[in-house]
Amino acid sequence: MKITHADIYPLSIPLIEPMKMSREIVVDAKTVLLCLTDDKGRQGWGEASVAPLMTGETLDSLIGSIKYLVEKSLSIDWLKPDDFAEIFNLILYSNASAKACLEMALLDLYTQEVGLPLWRYLRGRNAVPNESAPAAIPLLRMLGGSLDKELSDAETFRALGFRHWKIKIGSLTLDEDLHRVKVLSDALGGDVISVDANCALTLPNAIRFCQSKEASRLSFAEQLIPADLPMGDFVLLNRSSGIPMGLDESIHGVVELEQFIEAGAFGGASLKLIKTGGIINALSCANLLREHRLGFNLACKIAESSLSAAATASIGFAMGEVSWGFSMSNQYLMFDVCDVPLVAKRGCLDVEQLASTGVGITPNINRVKEVIAKGYSTIQC
């Protein structure tokens, strides 16, 4: 499989409403789409979003890395997906987000060529029989804003079938966050409820939070403390907590997972393609977590289109179960750039929304061109 042409699209898509996190407020989705054309005229699509506080990538740096990888890829005959990551590493050090974008587009082409949907190809890698359709994946819905708004949103989306929730904490005082968690836990009793601090708490406050009565009904708490703290701090927090400790910013692949597993420092992890360097590495992470009976959730950054959502969901369909849910972030976009956006059905995503071959979702080129980021243009290679 040879690549004959590539187009890189730097995008800025407005959110329905600003997303407030502990260290930033996101008002639009800055993401990069990549379209590869192969020697048979097929098109494969990839996507990766910026995440300065998670991967260190800005729009400029992500574009530059993707362009560099793509230019080098034009001379390569892409044969086996097992070799993709090794080839990427021979071309460029680190830069997981750019590699994830290119890998997604190559896997889209490869699975089109072999006539399989991506999720079935990944399921085959896991040696799972392909006959039965996988169960729908529960979608994790984020809550934010004033407490009154959170309660209103929770009521609205619960009526639509959502049963997995994430409460953003860390931008208010600890007592205020504990109050919010108690009130929302009362309203959502019986559901899978989590919190995410995005590294905002000190170790003493994180321990206090996890030992509190208010937090006792949470299914897990994600990345309460900064990722650069010593391993001993994570071990202490995990041992002190009455609820499972999830990690996000601390985990970028199998190496970190193995270190935290050996230390007994967590209860599960959030997997994003832009951190792991791609779909195949993320699948390996999910399998490692399952092997050690740890939880995991799949997640797109705020916010990615249905393209990245479909690729990420394919991991969940291959695994057969996503214990901590799937953060499908296209639901926060003012509009999607894909022809047939993925949508929640009774709070879940079903596999029938994906096409019969490839990643399963195709961007609409006209919509893509409408949201080219200000000051940028399409890059052709």
- What is the Cα Rg of the chain in Å? 20
Fold of 124-353: TIM Barrel (3.20.20)
What's the rounded mean pLDDT across residues 161-181?
Answer: 95
Lowest-pLDDT range, 28-37, 48-57, 105-114, 218-227? Answer: 48-57
Region class of 347: left (phi > 0), else alpha (psi between -120 and 50), else beta:
left
Region class of 210: left (phi > 0), else alpha (psi between -120 and 50), else beta:
alpha
Cβ(141)–Cβ(135) below 8 Å: no
Cβ(119)–Cβ(354) below 8 Å: yes
> Can you give the pTM of this predicted structure?
0.94
Token pair for 145: 């804003």
Task: Kindly give the pairing relationship between strand 25-38 and strand 3-20.
Answer: antiparallel
3-state secondary structure of 110: helix
Give the pLDDT of residue 285.
Answer: 97
Alpha helices by DSSP H, the chain: 59-73, 81-91, 96-113, 118-125, 147-159, 174-187, 203-211, 231-240, 254-263, 273-276, 279-291, 306-319, 365-370
User: In the beta sheet, which residues pair with residue 133?
Assistant: none
Domain(s) of CATH 3.20.20.120: residues in the chain: 124-353
Convert the pLDDT of each residue in 192-242 to its tens digit.
999 999 999 999 999 999 999 999 999 999 999 999 999 999 999 999 999
Domain(s) of CATH 3.30.390.10: residues in the chain: 3-117+363-380
Token pair for 41: 């005229």
pLDDT at 274 over 90: yes
CATH match of 3-117+363-380 with 3.30.390.10:
yes
